[in-house]
C-alpha cells in the first residue's frame, strides 16, 4: 500500500515543488530551493538558478507522471510491487537527469562574460574592487 502511494505521489510532489520556484515566489532561505554559494551570492542569482530548478522539477514531474500513468494502465507480466518500485526508481532517475543541466548552469553563472584580455584595465580594476568572481587582473 505504501509503495502504491509513493508510486503515485512522487511525480506529483516533484511537479508541485517546482511551481513556486518557477513563479519566483521563494526568497533566499536555508530550507527550500537550489542552495549553493552561487545562489547565495546575489538575489538575481538565487531567482535565476531557482527558476531553472523549478522548470526542471516541473518537467521531471510531468514526464515521471506520464511514465507512472503508462506503468499503471498497461498490463505487464510484472507484479504490482515490482511496477511500483520501477516507477519510483524511474521517477528518481528522471528527476536527477533533469537537474543535471541546472547544476551545469549554476556552475557557469559566476563566470565572466568576456575574457580578461578583452576587458580594459580600468574595468578589470573595478570588477576586482567590486568583488566579481573571475575578474582577477
Q: How far apart are CA 123 and CA 120, in angstroms?
A: 5
Q: How far apart are CA 71 and CA 128, in angstroms?
A: 55
Within 10 Å of residue 3's Cβ, how many Cβ atoms? Answer: 15
pLDDT digits (tens, 9 = 90+) for 40-54: 888 998 999 999 999
Q: Based on C-alpha coordinates, what's the Rg of the chain?
A: 20
Kindly give, in sequence order, each residue whose CB lies less than 8 Å from that of residue 23, ignoring residues fewer than 6 positions away: 54
Tell me the CB-side half-sphere exposure of residue 120, using CA atoms within 13 A.
3
pLDDT digits (tens, 9 = 90+) for 23-41: 999 999 999 999 888 888 8
Instruction: Kindly indicate the confidence band of residue 135, based on its pLDDT and cuts at 50, 70 and 90.
Output: very low
Instruction: Kindly indicate the confidence band of residue 108, based on its pLDDT and cuts at 50, 70 and 90.
Output: confident
Amino acid at each position: 500500500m505504501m509503495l502504491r502511494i509513493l508510486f503515485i505521489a512522487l511525480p506529483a510532489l516533484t511537479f508541485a515543488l517546482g511551481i513556486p520556484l518557477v513563479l519566483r515566489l521563494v526568497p533566499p532561505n536555508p530550507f527550500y530551493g537550489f542552495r549553493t554559494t552561487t545562489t547565495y551570492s546575489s538575489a538575481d542569482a538565487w531567482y535565476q538558478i531557482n527558476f531553472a530548478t523549478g522548470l526542471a522539477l516541473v518537467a521531471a514531474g510531468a514526464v515521471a507522471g506520464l511514465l507512472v500513468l503508462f506503468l499503471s494502465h498497461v498490463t505487464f507480466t510484472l507484479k504490482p510491487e515490482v511496477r511500483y518500485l520501477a516507477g519510483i526508481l524511474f521517477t528518481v532517475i528522471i528527476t536527477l537527469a533533469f537537474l543535471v543541466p541546472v547544476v551545469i548552469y549554476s556552475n557557469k553563472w559566476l563566470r565572466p562574460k568576456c575574457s580578461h584580455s578583452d576587458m580594459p584595465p580600468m574595468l578589470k580594476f573595478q570588477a576586482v574592487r567590486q568583488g566579481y568572481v573571475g575578474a582577477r587582473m
